[in-house]
Structure 1
Amino acid sequence: MSLQISQLNIVRGKVAVVQSLDLAPMPPGSITALIGPNGAGKSTLIHALAGSLPARGQMLLDGVPLASLTHRERCQQVGLLPQTLPQGAGLTVYELLLGGLLTLGLPHHQAEQRIEQGLQQLRLSHLAMRAMSSLSGGQRQMVALVQLLARQPRLLLLDEPSSALDLHWQLAMVEAISRDVRERGSIAVLALHDLNLALRCCERIIVLSEGRCAADGSALDVLDPDLLAKVYGITGRIEQCSQGRPIFVLDHLVHPL
């Protein structure tokens, strides 16, 4: 049981953004980071898996082609946290969360329980009756995370989930995703620019470059100086902090401006 991607091609306009992509299966209980430079195909792959972009090839979730699912089935099985922050004009946080869960067909009492649990776990209960329009970008992003986790999808897709978050909430987001993957055996795929965030929470890193897989494996195996120079045009290295955690250190451009 896993997420499998093979011979995947995605065209946007007339540009082949993802080309003949084959990846080893992503098993239940795993967190995978998609990294790579701008335009590498990270967000495009995330949105194709979510069903918001057409794609040719195979995308199988637990052996079932994602393309064969109805819209409701796909929404139940696959959850997306996009870069675009939820607006919810005229709605409170609670109303936005409740409406999203009821749309999936969840019983009212069960939806309320999940919302209460999600807000409590992320220490956001104080925002429940706040108008969405009054929230900061980071607060709206955390509300979107609550909504994603409350839906309890099989596959969690996050597109630059830390873009509006400060350091506190970045760590809270990482811990929430890790807990969900650990407790429910879900599969999480995160498109990230922050290599240290990828090192913090992802046991597997897939490097995309020009729509193809440039490397795939553990961070220490993948992020070597040659690959960083080739894909990003920078020199950098992985070191260990005082607590033994791997950290990425950026040195300089390969070709200074």
Structure 2
Amino acid sequence: MLEFSHVAVALGKQLLSRDLCMQLSPGRLHVIIGPNGTGKTSLLRALFGELPLQEGTIRFNGHTLADLGANRWRQQFGYMPQNNQLELELSVLEVVVLGRLQSLKLRLSDDDLRAAMTALQSLGMAHLADRPMSTLSGGQRQMVLFAQVLLREPQIMLLDEPVSALDLQHQMQLMEHLHHQTRQRNWISLVVLHDLNLAAQFADELIVLADGRLQAMGPPSEVLTEALISQLYQVPVQIHHDAAGLPYIRTLRRAS
């Protein structure tokens, strides 16, 4: 169990979030949504230990970052930040293998190479294994870095806008793989998404942040209401439901 107890996060003198209380369970995909500037990325950074907590505590299985120290705390996470700049001249396979950096030796083991290739194959990227990262498109790089995160075998997955550079096919591929692996490996997955319809399709629970506070939390069918979305984003919307009962949002033009 991952527990947030009255958490407040600040960047310098600016308070980004406050009094956040929630519990996240293994085997579930949690998606954070909310307008720009509401502390979504900062919350992930604080959870990973990159930003100090202004107040409150974050506990995973009863332990805090202070209990374990930064290195042991971060070993529990697979973290993919929003801005992934990798300038090294490495091949795709080499970049994926770096997901096991903590345990790598001078000579790569067959197990490390097999695991890296399996991760690439699961994402339809195995044919790029020998390509230099510098020759890939932004979307391809994003998928390779996701494969690297998978190789870390984490207990908690933190992904900040992982589909931002991907086309529709690869958005669905990444989210479906994440959803499946979250169930199979009993991860706690926490993902920031701007695409509300994608969030509605894949989230077990939505976490709605605005003005630095938790506005709502629960299944998409309960959380996504016309009143809430219109208030959060200051646009008129209609909410419909597909054959599976999942909500999808249609934005409306304002009358001219």
Shorter-chain TM-score tier: over 0.9
Q: Which amino acid aligns with 1:231?
A: L
Which deviates more, 163-172 or 111-120? Answer: 111-120
**Contact 1:220–1:238 at 8 Å: present in 2 too?**
no
Q: Is the partner of 1:214 in helix, strand or coil? A: strand
After superposition, the C-alpha distances for 1:157-212 in whole angstroms (9 at most, x for unaligned) are 01011100000000011011012111110010111110011011101111101110
Deviation at 1:80, TM superposition (A): 0.9
**Contact 2:31–2:191 at 8 Å: present in 1 too?**
yes
How many angstroms apart in 2 are the aligned matches of 1:113 and 1:96? Answer: 14
In the alignment of these two chains, the number of paired residues is 252
After superposition, the C-alpha distances for 1:190-239 in whole angstroms (9 at most, x for unaligned) are 11110011011101111101110011111121111221222111222321
How many angstroms apart in 2 are the aligned matches of 1:54 and 1:61? Answer: 16
Q: Tell me what 2:222 maps to.
A: 221
Q: Are positions 1:52 and 2:53 aligned together?
A: no
**Contact 1:88–1:96 at 8 Å: present in 2 too?**
no
How many angstroms apart in 2 are the aligned matches of 1:175 and 1:141? Answer: 15
Deviation at 1:88, TM superposition (A): 4.0
**Contact 2:156–2:188 at 8 Å: present in 1 too?**
yes
Q: Tell me what 2:232 maps to.
A: 231
How many angstroms apart in 2 are the aligned matches of 1:175 and 1:16? Answer: 35
How many angstroms apart in 1 are the aligned matches of 2:131 and 2:67? Answer: 39
Which deviates more, 213-222 or 183-192? Answer: 213-222
Q: Which amino acid aligns with 1:64?
A: H
How many angstroms apart in 2 are the aligned matches of 1:247 and 1:142? Answer: 26
CA-atom RMSD in angstroms: 1.8
Q: How does 1:76-155 map to 2 (within 5 A)?
A: 76-101=75-100, 103-106=101-104, 108-109=108-109, 110-155=111-156
Gaps of 5+ in 2: none
Which deviates more, 82-91 or 40-49? Answer: 82-91
Identity in percent? 37
Deviation at 1:67, TM superposition (A): 3.7
**Contact 1:75–1:104 at 8 Å: present in 2 too?**
no
Gaps of 5+ in 1: none
Q: Which amino acid aligns with 1:82?
A: P
How many angstroms apart in 2 are the aligned matches of 1:188 and 1:7? Answer: 21
Q: Tell me what 1:70 maps to.
A: 69
Distance 1:66 1:82, change over 3 A: same
**Contact 2:99–2:149 at 8 Å: present in 1 too?**
no
Deviation at 1:5, TM superposition (A): 0.6
Distance 1:99 1:229, change over 3 A: closer
How many angstroms apart in 1 are the aligned matches of 2:234 and 2:66? Answer: 37
Q: Which amino acid aligns with 2:129?
A: A
Q: Is the partner of 2:248 in helix, strand or coil? A: strand
Deviation at 1:86, TM superposition (A): 4.0
